[in-house]
Amino acid sequence: MKMLTLALTSALFFNAGGIAQSRAQGTAPPAITVQPKLKPGEFEWHPERSPNGPLLVVCSIDDQMLYAYRNGVQIARSTVSTGRKGKTTPSGVFTILQRKIDHESSIYKGAKMPYMQRLTWTGIAMHAGELPGYPASAGCIRLPYKFSKLIYGEMKNGSTVVLTSKKTTPSKSAGPASILMDSEARDPADKSVPKGKVVWEPNKSFHGPISILLSYADKTVYVWRNGVQICLLYTSPSPRDRG
């Protein structure tokens, strides 16, 4: 399967439903609310905001924060501790490869990793751990113990985790862009789409939040609505267009 990198060092994931509806009604888009900063070890958990739908986890290495979205709606956020200097946490799009409630590191003997959710086979995972307020891990994403248990209960093997960083070049992940959401639409790995052409299938999902992913490696734009792929654009940007 083709390796995937992000076009930018951050994930493009947002809920466009409210903005589109406001424009259609001729009213101003809803104001963007700035969320209060959390102290190390703190988290927020509101699954009732969106009880059903596909789950996406985004971790900002720069902000030392993790966000969980279900069906395009933020249901949780938590402080984290990522890799310290020399043990940098990689950025990119990953899938959960393995899960274990009681896990001990095979690299660092005796190191407990409760509610471990593996992202790579080279030692990167999400798990409960100490959060001093700055990057302190050996590359893993440490979570508050209670939050790690809660998010563990909502995820599964194959769930998508996006790790973003402004300071580093995005790394590669083992999964194609189709892992972002469970999709019943055309397989994004199908490269039969002519360059510059658009596959536009909005009838596959008429309502719901819109999610957009730009893959620089694939030179492709993917669009999902309510977790179903409705658009595929294969393009080849000019070097002068790169930011």
Tokens representing residue 111 in the block: 């190191």
- Mean pLDDT, to the nearest integer, of 197-203? 82
The residues near 227 (Cβ < 8 Å, ≥ 6 apart) are 53, 54, 71, 181, 182, 183, 205, 208, 211
Tens digits of residue pLDDT in 64-119: 999 999 988 899 999 999 999 999 999 888 889 999 998 877 776 778 889 999 99
- Give the pLDDT confidence score for residue 171 in this predicted structure: 46
CATH 2.40.440.10 in the chain is located at: 17-164
Q: Tell me, what's the pLDDT at 96?
A: 92
Q: Inform me whether the pLDDT recorded for 187 exceeds 60.
A: no
Q: What is the per-residue pLDDT for 14? A: 40
Rg (CA), the chain: 18
pLDDT at 217: 62
**Residue predicted with more confidence, 120 or 213:** 120
Q: Rounded to two decimals, what is the model's pTM?
A: 0.62
The Cα 115–Cα 2 span in angstroms is 30
pLDDT per residue as tens digits for the range 2-29:
333 333 333 344 444 444 444 445 656 5
Task: Give every CB contact of residue 93 below 8 A, 6+ residues apart in sequence.
Answer: 4, 6, 11, 160, 161, 162, 173, 175, 177, 179, 180, 213
Q: What CATH number matches the domain at 17-164, 2.40.50.100, 3.30.1300.10, 1.10.760.10, 2.40.440.10?
A: 2.40.440.10
What pLDDT score does 21 carry?
46
- pLDDT of 124-174, one tens digit each? 999 999 999 999 999 999 999 999 999 999 999 988 899 988 765 544 444
Tokens linked to 145: 């113990």
Helix, coil or strand: residue 153: helix
